[in-house]
Structure 1
Amino acid sequence: MGLTREAAPPSYAPARGMVGRTVSTALPLYLTMLASTAGGLVDTVVLGRYSTATLAAFALTMAVYVPATATVAGTMRGVMPFVAAHDDDPDALVPVVRDSMWLGIVTGLLGALAVGAVPLIGLVSGVPQQTLSELGALPVLMAASVLVAAVGNAATSTLVGLGHSKLVMRAGTTGTAAAVVLSLTLVNGIGSFDGFGLLGAGIAMLMSSLISAVVAHWGLRRPAVLAGRSLSPGRPHARALIGLAGVGVPLAATVLIKFAVLGVLAIAAARVGTASAAAHSIAVSLAGLMFTAAVAIGQAIIPLMAPYLKAKDVRGLRAAVRAGVMTALGAVVLLGVALAVLRIPVLSFFTHDPDVRHQLLALLPLVLLVAVTDALQAVCGFGLVAIRNTVPSLFAFAVCYGLLALAAAPLSALGGLTALWLALLAANTLLVVAQAGFFFQRSGSFADPLSRSV
């Protein structure tokens, strides 16, 4: 109280330093995510050229695979604060790494079961038999890919928690490069080789996950705190797994809620009209591109917050989240300005339909506002992850996105896409308030009794 700038503890003053550290950690993670997204588009393009029925079968499998892998990844992000808490203590860190591998195996098996059940899900959902007959061994290969990716996520979550995002980028980009090369080769073939079609895509994705996981686990040997230590999983420890899952599972549940409600919005947009459905899909992709930057930034602040958490330094915890918010706001605004300036060529890349482009141009300001609010709530949410308190985020998402899901159909019927995106903006704005409020409240509980009275 009454400290001058010169006398203030180092944790309170260096906002620029915190932003710089956040950017340097987040940038490799963002580039990794962008590369993965671009790599995923290759499969869609290659299979679309192979045959329409094959692409339909692939889309059916991905409709289950994407939420499954996102849920697994969300669960494994809950490992990060536990790793960051022991970044200077090998004896305490190694058990966390081993337990995280068991958590990856358990969640990966659950995700694999869901993906393996794609033929049954398609049959119950009334998917045409022609599409189901195209599936072949793809669900089995993709189920194996989920499990392998989950084990890889155990390694990448550890590396993010330790602040080694460049090693994560190395693993991710290596796997993506392998996926692109293998997809181009195995689906349509090369030279005298005719290719395997959908089977080739499944093999490519499984090999990509395997390569990425191997590189990530190799990267675990690089940090000095883990050098020379045995990282074999050993026996699972139920209490430790429950502790990790207590942070990761609510985080994964928020991912599922968001996926489900975005699906409801897509259906509501489709009811407005074909052009509206297409415009909504493209707008979601553009907003997602900007939101990915916030996810990278949110993960980057977790190791930044760890020292303040150990010291019960509430000001430091909040300063780190403010640095994340400033970084995310800057990143989204920068991407938004670029999108606004390049809107004509960008939108032309997605569609040549003048009606769709017209709707997108009218919707663009709302898309940018939605991206900003989504980014801000995500960073505050990762602040809660860092202090290992993710249940409030789950509650906030359940309420805000639950209301959005209920309002989507009537609002789209009354006001079309504009009303739908205004509702999404309102839900995200409420989430910003809720996530920030919960973080402010829960982070305050770490203050020492003496500091509270000052």
Structure 2
Amino acid sequence: MATAHDREILRLAVPAFLALVAEPLFLLADAAIVGHLGTPQLAGQGIAAVVLQTAVGLCIFLAYGTTASVARHLGAGDEKGALAQGIDGVWLAVLIGVVVTVLGILFTGPLVGAFGAGASVEGYATTYLRVAWLGTTPILVMLAATGILRGLQDTRTPLVVAVAGNGVNVCLNLLLVYGVGSFDGLGIAGSAIGTVVAQLLSAAALVAVVVRGARSAGASLVPDPTGIRMAARSGVALVVRTITLRAALLLTTYAVTLGASGPDRPVSLATHQVAITLWSFLAFVLDAIAIAAQAITGRYLGAGDVAGTRAVTRRMVQWGAYSGVVCGLLLAAASPFLGRLFSSDPAVHDLLVPVLLIAALGQPVAGVVFVLDGVLIGAGDGRYLAWAGAVVLAVYAPVVLAAAFVTGGLVAVWVAFAGVFMGARFVVLTRRARGDAWLVTGAVRAPARR
């Protein structure tokens, strides 16, 4: 049975792994290209990236919730209903994207200023962020369309689109940032423009695939107000869960800013940006099994197979732990060399090594956390995830602020992040997984039992 589960997990997780590796390369490419413009530019791009990731991350339910609901309908044998729910998610993504774009552009100044990073850094952050907001709607549409395909047990198409989109992104960034021939380049603004164009092209490709599938299954493409409202309501718990996670990341960046002072502040912020980008990169790597968990859990529960859900969950947790060990060892081995890829500043290189070693130690726990998070999302257990996220944030906030205030060091902040934040998430998720309340069967998930 383990071999059968392994084949099923790998069939979904390997393409998801490659796609998820390609996705953060949007940010890795931006960081590497912008980093060689200078340390203030890299720090500014880092602040803009945190704001963007927070805004987009709040809408991750467009992918996660859609994957779970589509997979449940698929498991129950209702492909037309699966695609109809997915299309409602795409229309919801468009509506949210337009609102977020307008508000983001209007409030760019205050959002950047809230970090208190200094005039030189804030100027670059504002320039990047005002352009990058234009990619919000394409990103959200990509999330919804990807969720549909994952729910249909197709992780290969998002892989193809992610690889192609990333290739376009890198080429456009190099051209628009540094220029070619008589074109001198646009600096940090060119990076934002190139990324927005790549996101727009990627969204268009994914939507084309979804539309073709909907027409084949007989699902309507016309906006359904009732379906859109249902999709929005079902995502509320996941939004709360995501808010707690994003708040923790924002709090970590704020703690870095709080702890650093004077001329050391840009170095600390730039180092933190590189470290959190690499952490996010590895999180996407480990999240590949979580993506498989969402699709597999939803389909198994939609088909009413509780025993199969339990068995495949145990196997996926094992895969998550093993993957975390491998990622941790690789990160630790590469830590002395990674700084040069993102910055020309020796101070950034020196500070990055101990931070990455701490991040490496946290990878095995992260592997289990991400898998169980995916399992419970696939089960539609959003209410528990929202509650658990609030508890974890309440535990983490005073610890990380104290670490920054007392020590003033970036290393202490990362000890709190990798140890306390991830450790608390491990506790609340493993506790839930041992129980039965999340094992609700059927095409539509009933309210969770307590």
Shift in CA distance, 35/124, structure 1 to aligned 2, threshold 3 Å: closer
CA contact (8 A) 2:331 2:360 kept: no
Query: 1:250 Cα shift?
Result: 2.9
Residues 414-453 of structure 1: CA deviation (Å, up to 9, x unaligned): 69666545544133223212112223335465389xxxxx
Q: 1:241-252 alignment to 2 at 5 Å? A: 241-252=231-242
Specify the alignment match of 1:105 in structure 2. 94
State the percentage of identical aligned residues.
Answer: 22
Equivalent residue for 1:201, pick from 191, 200, 207: 191
334-343 vs 184-193, which deviates more? 334-343
Specify the alignment match of 1:452 in structure 2. none
Residues 325-350 of structure 1: CA deviation (Å, up to 9, x unaligned): 11111212122233344454446656
Pick 1 or 2: higher relative contact order, CA cutoff 8 A, min separation 6: 2
Specify the alignment match of 2:296 in structure 1. 304
Question: TM-score of the superposition, structure 1-length normalised?
Answer: 0.81
Superposition RMSD on alpha carbons, in Å? 3.6
Within 2, Cα distance between the matches of 1:46 and 1:356? 16
Residues 16-49 of structure 1: CA deviation (Å, up to 9, x unaligned): 3223322332222232232233333333444455
Residues 349-388 of structure 1: CA deviation (Å, up to 9, x unaligned): 5678888777766666643332221221221122111111
Shift in CA distance, 370/114, structure 1 to aligned 2, threshold 3 Å: farther
| 1:159 partnered with 2:146 | no
Query: 1:255 Cα shift?
Result: 3.3
Aligned AA (2:147): S
Equivalent residue for 1:67, pick from 36, 43, 54: 54
Specify the alignment match of 2:376 in structure 1. 384
| 1:148 partnered with 2:135 | no
- SS of equivalent to 1:388: coil
CA contact (8 A) 2:61 2:235 kept: no
Within 1, Cα distance between the matches of 2:29 and 2:356? 26
Aligned AA (2:54): P
- SS of equivalent to 1:446: coil
Aligned AA (1:169): L
Query: 1:316 Cα shift?
Result: 1.9
Q: 1:367-446 alignment to 2 at 5 Å? A: 367-412=359-404, 413=406, 420-424=413-417, 425-443=419-437, 446=440
414-423 vs 435-444, which deviates more? 414-423
CA contact (8 A) 1:71 1:255 kept: no
CA contact (8 A) 1:269 1:280 kept: no
Aligned AA (1:401): L
Within 2, Cα distance between the matches of 1:56 and 1:342? 22
Residues 144-177 of structure 1: CA deviation (Å, up to 9, x unaligned): 2101211121111111111211100111122111
Equivalent residue for 1:292, pick from 284, 287, 293: 284
Within 2, Cα distance between the matches of 1:323 and 1:439? 13
CA contact (8 A) 1:83 1:96 kept: yes
Aligned AA (1:33): L
| 1:185 partnered with 2:175 | yes
- SS of equivalent to 1:227: helix
Equivalent residue for 1:323, pick from 315, 324, 327: 315
53-62 vs 74-83, which deviates more? 53-62
Question: TM-score of the superposition, structure 2-length normalised?
Answer: 0.82
What 5-or-longer segments of structure 2 have no aligned partner?
Answer: 443-450
Equivalent residue for 1:227, pick from 212, 216, 232: 216
What 5-or-longer segments of structure 1 have no aligned partner?
Answer: 1-13, 449-454
Shift in CA distance, 422/103, structure 1 to aligned 2, threshold 3 Å: same
Specify the alignment match of 1:335 in structure 2. 327
Query: 1:212 Cα shift?
Result: 0.5
CA contact (8 A) 2:28 2:277 kept: no
Within 2, Cα distance between the matches of 1:264 and 1:380? 28
CA contact (8 A) 2:63 2:143 kept: yes
Within 2, Cα distance between the matches of 1:365 and 1:184? 31
Provide the aligned length of Structure 1 versus Structure 2: 434
CA contact (8 A) 2:64 2:378 kept: no
Aligned AA (2:287): V
